[in-house]
Amino acid sequence: MTSDPNHLMELPRKILIGNDVIYQLGSFIRDLNDKTSLVAVISGNTVKARVGKECVEALDSSSLKHKWIETPNASMNDINSSQSLVRKEQPNFIVGVGGGRSVDVAKMISFNLNIPFISVPTSASHDGISSPFVSIRGRDKPYSLKAHAPIGVIADTKLISEAPYRLQASGCGDLIGKITAVKDWELARDDNNEYFGSYAANLANMSAKIIIENSSKLFYRANIRTIVEALISAGVASCIAGSSRPCSGSEHLFSHALEYVAKTNCGLHGERVGIGTIMMSKIHGLDHDVIIKTLQNIKAPTTAKEIDVTEDQIIQSLLIAQSLRPERYTILNKIKMDKGSAREIAKSVSVI
């Protein structure tokens, strides 16, 4: 009998998806709170240059005052400096516009200041679009923190489809990781009496399954909506679970470890997760060839060389992955790994 703890489900209240919906940003905010007078918009420089005009026009058309805050990276320094500006302005909403970093910064500030947050992704690179979790740089251990889920999500599929394709493939890699994340969660239930939510697990698994079944078509930008909806669905699975369990397991621990070991030039988050999923599926006894084929179909990396990391960095990352978050029980708790066995695992699936 597994434990059944209380947990809070925070779900997005509204999600708007489709072509050119960025122009509805102002009315979307008004629908959430018609007394809104000021919003703080957080983004990077590149994103502001790309979609700033559209956002400003949408806010102006609804007579919403706005303060634009540019943040270069999702680091603690960026959060602290941007948070000071937001606190000074006291907006009704914080709007995160951009890829993962800007959305994470906005999400964390929203949590710290208890101001509602709206997610406006400009790429489909990971499932943080709708989840309550953030990945912040500049901390001792590189794993996600829990914040608040966005109160609203605006996903402009035309805008997202115009982002570099590599980001789209990275998002698919992040989704593939739900296969081993759910297996790790099942393992924690069986071995460690941990709470397991069947609905959240099935929702996360479905997001991965859709990518696997459609991988030969997802290379085409016309299918971006499938990826965006799967990412939103995966993020909602974490909201329902009350933790990142259905979406983040040993494959994410490997990704965080590789980022920690390599420091820079180690691929995108979803690219590392995809490669991690190949190796963790092998350890779990799953069909890793399906994972490899899926990633190859979407033109995502499947080897260390493709993300410019060395054999030694892969091995070291496998060895330290579980230590980054020892309280999170995964398949890595069940095996005794040394350099030799780590190398053998990576070689057996052609990662190195």
| DSSP string of 248-297, one letter each residue | -SHHHHHHHHHHHHH-SSS--HHHHHHHHHHHHHHHHT--HHHHHHHHHH
Class of domain 14-163: alpha beta
Inform me whether the pLDDT recorded for 2 exceeds 60: no
Average pLDDT on 339-348 reads 98
Write down the pLDDT at residue 265: 85
Six-digit token pair at 10?
Answer: 């925070």
Q: Which CATH code, of 3.40.605.10, 1.10.3660.10, 3.40.50.10140, 1.20.1090.10, is assigned to 166-348?
A: 1.20.1090.10
Distance between CA atoms of residues 311 and 304, nearest Å: 7
The amino acid at residue 257 is A
Write down the pLDDT at residue 138: 58
Q: What is the pTM of this model?
A: 0.93
Distance between CA atoms of residues 311 and 140, nearest Å: 24
Write down the pLDDT at residue 141: 61
Q: How confident is the model at residue 139 (pLDDT cuts 50, 70, 90)?
A: low
Q: CA of 125: how far to CAs of 122, 161, 228, 246, in Å?
A: 9, 11, 9, 18
Write down the pLDDT at residue 126: 86
Write down the pLDDT at residue 220: 72
Inform me whether the pLDDT recorded for 142 exceeds 90: no
Residue pLDDT, tens place only, 158-211: 999 999 999 999 999 999 999 999 999 999 999 999 999 999 999 999 999 999
Pairing label, strands 133-134, 145-146: antiparallel
- Coil, strand or helix at 74: coil
Distance between CA atoms of residues 61 and 159, nearest Å: 20
Q: How confident is the model at residue 144 (pLDDT cuts 50, 70, 90)?
A: confident
The answer to whether 180 touches 286, Cβ cutoff 8 Å, is: yes
Query: Which helix (H) or strand (E) element contains residue 146?
Result: strand 145-146
Average pLDDT on 62-88 reads 87
% of the chain residues with pLDDT over 70:
96
Six-digit token pair at 74?
Answer: 């999702």
Six-digit token pair at 336?
Answer: 């005794």
Average pLDDT on 98-111 reads 89
Inform me whether the pLDDT recorded for 9 exceeds 60: yes
Query: Which helix (H) or strand (E) element contains residue 145?
Result: strand 145-146
Distance between CA atoms of residues 112 and 109, nearest Å: 5
Low-confidence winner among 20-24, 120-124, 136-140, 343-347 (lowest mean pLDDT): 136-140
The domain locations on the chain are: 14-163, 166-348
Write down the pLDDT at residue 230: 96
Maximum distance among all alpha carbons in the chain?
63
153-173: string of b/e by CB count within 10 Å (b at 16+)?
A: bbbbbebbbebeebbbbbbbb
Average pLDDT on 82-101 reads 93
Average pLDDT on 124-130 reads 90
Inform me whether the pLDDT recorded for 3 exceeds 60: no
Write down the pLDDT at residue 99: 83
Average pLDDT on 217-242 reads 90
Six-digit token pair at 212?
Answer: 């696997």
Inform me whether the pLDDT recorded for 318 exceeds 60: yes
Residue pLDDT, tens place only, 32-60: 999 999 999 999 888 999 999 999 999 99
